[in-house]
Amino acid sequence: MHVVFAIFHCCLLFPGTPPAADQLQAYLNDLASPNFQTREEATARLMESGPEALGILRKAFFGTELYDAKRRMKDIAREVYLTDKLGPPRAFLGITHNRYDLKNTEDGRIPPGATAIRIESIFPGTSAERAGIAAGDLLIALNGVRATLEEPATKIPLWIATKPPNTPCKFTVIRGGSGVRLEVGDRGRPVNVSKLNRAPMDVVTTAGHPLVPPGAAGLRIGENIEIAEGVTLQRGDVIVSLNDQSLPAEDARGTLMTWTGQVSKQADTQRPDEMEVRVRNGRPQLVPRGAPSIQIVRGGTVLELEARLGRRPAMLRNSANAQTPWQAEPAAIEQATQQFETWWTESVDPEGTFSEQAGGDKRWRMESGRR
């Protein structure tokens, strides 16, 4: 299997390049679409326009009675105004994730010494969706730099928050497949390493299996082997690390032979008082201190996905726990916001009748999909 390079280009407007008047009008018309996703995308495009769009937005605001369109127009105008006063807001990729760093002890697909975050969900219409990132992906690299124990994957969302919208970037993800890391000294599930010496194997690199780390090698199993209770290696499975070290490309099979000999010798001399409990692959195990380990992967692929970072969707901007999209001092944000309100003056729903309007009007239904 070869590494798949999936490249998705996002057609976004660059800062300082306002859309033409006819394009602005098309986006404004989309704000009245009965499709929620169409309204979200039009809102994002209009937020990328320059301050010259403020007059057009204000005029359109008074030209419609649609509550959601009026709300969006004011939000867009506020975004454009604050961008002009405070600079571009924080970028937004559009993912939720597990919020901590995964290692190969938690997910056997992750290379030794690397870290990853698991993508839990994707916000529709965002840069993540356009780039092809999917729920369940393991994010392991940004702009070609792999996340490590020293520079963990949880820093990737923090990096995104320091960039302006339209910043180009490339994400590396692991998709699909499975992996397991076994502690050889686990007395509850001992591993029979001698079977590995007799098994047919061939050496593979990243080109032969995408989960083999670049510059390293793996050993692909040629037949089914039961090496532990409930653990059967299948033909095509690949050994990718021993003792949390990648296999050297120049002598992968010799490294395995040396390792199995050391493991057998250590098992014969291990004393009971040298045992300890570790949590590995989600369960506690009684293993020798410094117990050797083996990591095997099955299936899976690596994708390189290109994107341009976007802006926080309108549906998330006003939530109570939303992070402010601006990197300016809070006092400066408050002052600029008050200046905008003084200039705009009008309320979106002065009579408080939105709930009555919304009840029987399909325009306010958050329909899925695209028009």
**SS3 of the chain:** CCCECCCCCCCCCCCCCCCCHHHHHHHHHHCCCCCHHHHHHHHHHHHCCCHHHHHHHHHHHHCCCCHHHHHHHHHHHHHHHHHHHHCCCCCECCEEECCCCECCCCCCCCCCCECEEEEEEECCCCHHHHHCCCCCCEEEEECCEECECCCCCCHHHHHHHCCCCCCEEEEEEEECCEEEEEECCCCCCCCCCHHHHHCCEEEECCCCCCCCCCCEEEEEECCCEEEECCEEECCCCEEEEECCEEEECCCHHHHHHHHHHHHHHHHHHCCHHHEEEEEECCEEEEEECCCCEEEEEECCEEEEEEEECECCCHHHHCCCCCCCCCCCCHHHHHHHHHHHHHHHCCCCCCCCCHHHHHHCCHHHCCCCCCC
In a domain, 155, yes or no: yes
Domain count, the chain: 3
Query: Residue 6 domain-assigned?
Result: no
Q: Is residue 358 in some structural domain?
A: yes
Per-residue pLDDT band at 191 (split at 50, 70, 90)? confident
| 276 and 320 co-located in one domain | no
Please tell me whether residues 218 and 280 are part of one structural domain. yes
Q: Are residues 43 and 123 in the same domain?
A: no
pLDDT at 359 over 50: no
Per the model's pLDDT, the better-predicted residue between 32 and 305 turns out to be 305
User: Over 70: is that where the pLDDT of 320 sits?
Assistant: no
pLDDT at 35: 85
Say yes or no: 36 and 52 in one domain.
Answer: yes
The enclosing domain of 204 has a CATH number of: 2.30.42
CA-to-CA distance for 338 and 346, rounded, in angstroms? 13
- Domain co-membership, 206 together with 292: yes
CATH, residue 102: 2.30.42.10
- Inside any domain, residue 10: no
> In which band, very low, low, confident or very high, does the pLDDT at 77 lie, cut at 50, 70 and 90?
very high
Secondary structure element (H or E) that encloses residue 217, with its range: strand 216-221
pTM of the model: 0.74
**Worst-scoring range by mean pLDDT, 142-151, 274-283, 313-322, 331-340?**
274-283
Greater pLDDT, 276 or 163:
163
The mean pLDDT of 320-335, rounded to a whole number, is 74
Confidence of residue 283 (pLDDT cuts 50, 70, 90): low
Q: What is the mean pLDDT of residues 322-333?
A: 76
In terms of residue numbers, what domain contains 62? 21-89+311-364
Asked if 47 and 127 sit in the same domain, the reply is no
Higher pLDDT, 217 or 189: 217
The percentage of residues in the chain with a pLDDT greater than 90, rounded to a whole number, is 43
346 in a structural domain: yes
For residue 13, is it within any domain?
no
Are the C-beta atoms of 368 and 36 separated by less than 8 Å?
Answer: yes
**Lowest mean pLDDT, pick from 136-140, 228-232, 286-290:** 286-290
- With a cut of 70, say whether residue 310 has pLDDT above it: yes
Note whether 38 and 100 are same-domain residues: no
What per-residue confidence (pLDDT) applies to 22? 85
Q: Which of the four pLDDT bands, split at 50, 70 and 90, describes residue 278?
A: low
Instruction: Clarify whether residues 200 and 160 are in a common domain.
Output: no
Predicted pLDDT of residue 131: 94
Q: Are residues 214 and 272 in the same domain?
A: yes
pLDDT of residue 366: 45
